[in-house]
A and B are shown apart, each in its own frame.
Chain A
């Protein structure tokens, strides 16, 4: 906190020029990375295989075999059965709203805690961290009674509010420590130029920490997208349900439809993967506040 981590004029790290001759060490790293990649991708490959298998093919050849033909009925049936398009819209509304609101709130909180250095900020941060570690199961009943009292039970708004609070807790914690290392001379320069607190926030702090905010936005979106437990409890009408809750429809009491479950899993992860691919450049920019311009 006392040292200024980002030095004036240091450009963002550029990719190193390609090294043409690899040392044995580099080869070892490459091979182990390749193995790791295969291990990571294997479940996706298996899901993809099973998504395109007919149930009879699955039953007679098992889950690991290569599909004998392209069977699209599973995906089509699942899409129609749960009205998947509507579920996508729900998930998009909820995750998008949560991501935007949580980033805004996190910035405001972190501005006060990290740059404003208000009194008792350490204890406040600890409180936020504690809020993060509370398991969702504990929250269920209090939230259920609260939302019933204010008439938000079974609305998308209830989930948006709950997850905005949950994600903001993490965002505040993270952003506060990032902003506490914010170059002081920039803030002083802005103040000398006559900028008020609000102006400093919007004209100086936010633009400079934009990559970090982008990362937070993407994380919040994907985390909220993948949430299952609370949305399942709160969104009881089918027309309010999110994608992961809709996938739960396929879990029977004693049986599971493995091919359709795979088809639905494939449909369920595609949006998150697409979102990640679109925003991956933001992600790679890292968590720290970049160079001073």
Chain B
């Protein structure tokens, strides 16, 4: 026993010495592009960016890309500290939004890349609604005048549906909101809950916000997301959304016991064929394609709405402390090229500057065409949790009350208004 302790002590003591001298071995040459992102290797972005790294190394002989895969959590929690140190990467993927990229830009940790964007023509490749989240003003609010990042991909929400269940219950794919309601009635009448939902995470609030968006327009979204005017939480759109969603819960369109369900479980229960429909983001697309084996599925945009939830994807940002800014811009340029964009599309992603003609799979083609329809109509309505820090949890709590029926729609909307207005006064709007 004690022999083991001693051996271990000797071993670790030796390692301690080793680690002490190992600390100084990071002297890197300038011909290295330090790149971080947090997309999994087999996701659309992971595949496309791997290829971009290869192309970058081919076109830049002597430069090595030092790619480090990070966790989302790690980048979120540590970015302000890392970017403020000499160990900052040269380029990294970062979450778009006021509380994330906006905050970093306000703190002066990101490079203003406006001149590069116009010089290299990236602004012409990005539709207005997508570019909004890459530009921030002096207060770090999106839709500003300076570019702090470039998105490669977009995301939006649509209804995924199970063809087998639609056939079994004789339901046709709805094209209007009335047909949509009727389809849900049919399912509910046969004892099948029509919509997969997760009350503990983002899906429930996305149903609610989509209902509001179907009665909203662009100025309404700008007021809510960019504080261009006062948001009235008892206006027609919000009232309609809250009362309709509460009504749906009552009628059993979403399951009462979905209150405590997480998004992952909602997704897997759709994949196992338990629910005929699931309204969620394009981030599920690649996974559904790979893992649903037991039935045919397809998608449609929310019927009867010009706008739907969606935005640009995450951004490539260049830290202030980046030692190789020009190389970083070159890399971004490669990711915006047609072949990388189409590679992204062919792997189930939504490229910002893709070309449907270059996409082989018909389903993937539809994914991109739907996006182009939305972006062309300026129909991306962003996400409801963006306007204030911690707003996500406010929305989760509110929608849970609606599903449970423990609070009236009007009092739930009051609950949304309070933290929203508090945040406004905090940031001085």
Map CB proximity to A onto B3-36 as digits: 1 under 8 Å, 0 otherwise: 0110011011101101110110010000000000
A144-B291 in contact given A153-B87, A248-B71, A255-B264 (Cβ < 8 Å): no
Residues of B51-103 whose CB lies within 8 A of A: 68-74, 77-78, 81-82, 85, 87, 95
Chain B interface, DSSP helix/strand/loop, else mixed: helix
- B72:A251 contact, CB within 8 angstroms: yes
User: Is A24 interfacial (CB 8 A cutoff)?
Assistant: no
**In the bound complex, CA of A176 to CA of B239 (Å):** 64
User: Is A188 interfacial (CB 8 A cutoff)?
Assistant: no
- B22:A232 contact, CB within 8 angstroms: no
Map CB proximity to B onto A27-54 as digits: 1 under 8 Å, 0 otherwise: 0000000000000000000000000000
Task: Report A-chain residues with C-beta under 8 Å of the C-beta of B2.
Answer: 210
Partner of A92, one of B4, B12, B73: B12
- B95:A253 contact, CB within 8 angstroms: yes
- B272:A237 contact, CB within 8 angstroms: no
User: Is A209 interfacial (CB 8 A cutoff)?
Assistant: no
Chain A interface, DSSP helix/strand/loop, else mixed: helix
Among A11-19, A93-101, A105-113, the stretch that binds chain B is A93-101
A-B residue pair count with CB separations less than 8 angstroms = 126
User: Is A136 interfacial (CB 8 A cutoff)?
Assistant: no
- A60:B293 contact, CB within 8 angstroms: yes
User: Is B271 interfacial (CB 8 A cutoff)?
Assistant: yes
- B293:A56 contact, CB within 8 angstroms: yes
**In the bound complex, CA of A258 to CA of B40 (Å):** 13
Closest to A99 in B: B12
Task: Report A-chain residues with C-beta under 8 Å of the C-beta of B71.
Answer: 245, 248-251
Closest to A236 in B: B82
A253-B38 in contact given A58-B268, A148-B85, A281-B1 (Cβ < 8 Å): yes
Which of the four size classes fits the interface of chain B? 35 or more
User: How many of chain A's residues have a CB under 8 angstroms from any CB in B?
Assistant: 52
- A97:B294 contact, CB within 8 angstroms: no
**In the bound complex, CA of A97 to CA of B17 (Å):** 9
- B87:A237 contact, CB within 8 angstroms: yes
Across the A-B interface, the 10 shortest Cβ-Cβ residue pairs: A96-B12, A248-B71, A97-B16, A59-B271, A93-B15, A155-B23, A59-B291, A238-B68, A249-B71, A253-B72
Residues of B at the A interface (CB closer than 8 Å) are 1-2, 4-5, 8-9, 11-13, 15-16, 18-20, 22-23, 26, 38-41, 68-74, 77-78, 81-82, 85, 87, 95, 202, 263-264, 267-268, 271-273, 281, 283-284, 287, 290-294, 314
Some 13 contacts from A to B, beta carbons below 8 A apart, are: A56-B293, A59-B291, A100-B12, A100-B16, A157-B19, A210-B2, A232-B73, A251-B73, A252-B40, A253-B283, A253-B314, A254-B202, A258-B268
